[in-house]
């Protein structure tokens, strides 16, 4: 009997579909994906995808960005409830008032936000190009940065800017425990701590490397070190371990969890292999963006991609 994976691969061929997956997806989804990457890589792949259907194994804002970049394709998200705490922290009506209260500011938004928010922005960035995007704005022009205050703080520190920050955060990256991390590092003093910039400042201060999910994988590959404590969503460990089979990867501990020392994004984990199959079979749920919003939202995304070449 055909396995679910085989059925998906067959259906993918029949329907001329491509599967794009984020590193935080379950390993079995990453295994059947045509491309696995970080938010920037996934946007670039979505833009150039030739297939008729893009199955986006990630969260809503990612699938929406894919739709904006390649509007003629049918973009499917296996579970429509796969949201993001950062995107949810930034309601468009309140954000619009915030912008209006701070005229003359350039608005830079982290890609983890809705299309409505992108439509209110001058520039979009991801964790891998945030510094470059911020540096593209002349120093005398004030900036509003949303929705991630932790990434914003980190970029403020790196660039010396004083960007005005929206008060949003990622529930997963805010759950890392500094005390437990320090205790774990004492047990493994030879390990390098690496962290995603959505983490809080006190976690970032302990890290030898800070970067996007792809950046973290590249770092571990080229580092002479053989042991790493990894402060990001635990799904990354699958691909990272594949890339460095002989190195030791230890997930950074989170505050609440005493049994499993790892952080998982409940939104990312809503997608399952069964849902990938069902969405491909029924060609639903489909991501659609109203034209009025899409026409505006695509502008800052394209600017970001041009600046990232």
Interface with ligand SF4 (CB under 6 A): 59, 84-86, 112, 170-172, 198, 233, 265, 267-268
Nearer Cβ to ligand 13P (166/277): 166
Q: Which of 38, 45, 64, 148 binds ligand 13P (CB under 6 A)?
A: 38
Largest CA distance in the chain: 65
- Interface mask toward ligand 13P for 166-185; x: CB under 6 A: ----x---------------
Shortest CB 86 distance to ligand SF4, Å: 5
Q: Which residues contact 110 (CB under 8 A, 6 or more apart)?
A: 86, 124, 125, 126, 127, 130, 145, 146, 147, 148, 151
Assess contact for 43 and 31: CB atoms under 8 A. no
Q: Where are the beta strands (DSSP E) in the chain?
A: 17-22, 35-37, 53-57, 74-76, 106-110, 123-125, 143-146, 164-165, 192-195, 209-210, 227-231, 248-251
Q: Among 254, 86, 88, which residue's Cα sits nearest to residue 170?
A: 86
**212 near ligand 13P, rule: CB under 6 A:** yes
Within 235-294, the residues that bind ligand 13P by CB under 6 A are: none
- 213 binding partner (options ligand 13P, ligand SF4, none; Cβ < 5 to 8 Å by kind): ligand 13P
Q: Which does 39 bind (CB under 5 to 8 A by kind): ligand SF4, ligand 13P, none?
A: ligand 13P
Q: What pairing do the DSSP bridges indicate for beta strands 106-110 and 143-146?
A: parallel
27 is annotated as contributing to ligand binding: no
265 is in an annotated binding site: yes
Closest CB 16 distance from ligand 13P, rounded Å = 27
**Mask of contacts with ligand 13P, 105-124, x by CB under 6 A?**
-------x------------
Candidates 161, 173, 167; CA nearest to 197 is 173
Nearer to ligand SF4, 85 or 126 (CB): 85
Write out the DSSP string of 9-45. HHHHHHTTEEEEEETTS-HHHHHH-SEEE-HHHHHHH
The token pair that represents 205 in the structure block: 């201060």
267 binds, among ligand SF4, ligand 13P, none (CB under 5 to 8 A by kind): ligand SF4
Taking the complex as a whole, the smallest distance from the CB of residue 141 to ligand 13P amounts, in Å, to 25
Q: How far is the CB of 172 from ligand SF4 (least distance, A)?
A: 4
DSSP state of 148: B
Q: Is 112 annotated as a binding residue?
A: yes
C-alpha span between 240 and 179 (Å, rounded): 25
Q: Which residues bind ligand 13P (CB under 6 A)?
A: 38-39, 84, 112, 126-127, 170, 196, 198, 212-213
**Residues placed in the known binding site for iminosuccinate:** 22, 39, 110-112, 127, 196-198, 213
């Amino acid at each position: 009997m055909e396995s679910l994976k085989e059925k998906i691969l067959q259906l993918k061929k029949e329907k001329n579909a491509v599967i794009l997956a984020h590193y935080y997806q379950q390993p079995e989804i990453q295994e059947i994906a045509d491309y696995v990457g970080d938010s920037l890589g996934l946007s670039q792949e979505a833009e150039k995808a030739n297939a008729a259907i893009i199955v986006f194994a990630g969260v809503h804002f990612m699938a929406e960005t894919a739709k904006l970049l390649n509007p003629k394709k049918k973009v499917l998200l296996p579970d429509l409830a796969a949201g993001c705490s950062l995107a949810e922290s930034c309601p468009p009506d309140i954000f619009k008032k915030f912008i209006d209260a701070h005229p003359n500011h350039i608005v830079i938004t982290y890609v983890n936000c809705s299309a409505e928010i992108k439509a209110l922005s001058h520039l979009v960035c991801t964790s891998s190009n945030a510094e470059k995007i911020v540096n593209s704005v002349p120093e005398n022009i004030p900036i509003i940065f949303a929705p991630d205050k932790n990434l914003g703080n980190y970029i403020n520190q790196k660039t010396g800017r004083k960007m005005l920050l929206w008060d949003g955060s990622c529930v997963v990256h805010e759950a890392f425990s500094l005390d437990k991390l320090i205790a774990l590092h004492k047990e493994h003093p030879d390990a390098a701590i690496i962290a995603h910039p959505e983490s809080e400042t006190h976690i970032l201060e302990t890290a030898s490397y800070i970067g996007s999910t792809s950046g973290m994988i590249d770092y571990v590959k080229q580092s002479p070190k053989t042991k790493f404590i990894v402060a990001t969503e635990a799904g990354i460990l699958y691909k990272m371990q594949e890339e460095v089979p002989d190195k030791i990867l230890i997930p950074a501990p989170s505050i609440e969890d005493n049994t499993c020392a790892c952080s998982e994004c409940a939104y990312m984990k809503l997608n399952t292999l069964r849902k990938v199959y069902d969405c491909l079979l029924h060609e639903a749920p489909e991501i659609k963006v109203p034209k009025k919003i899409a026409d505006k939202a695509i502008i800052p995304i394209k600017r970001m991609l041009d600046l990232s070449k």
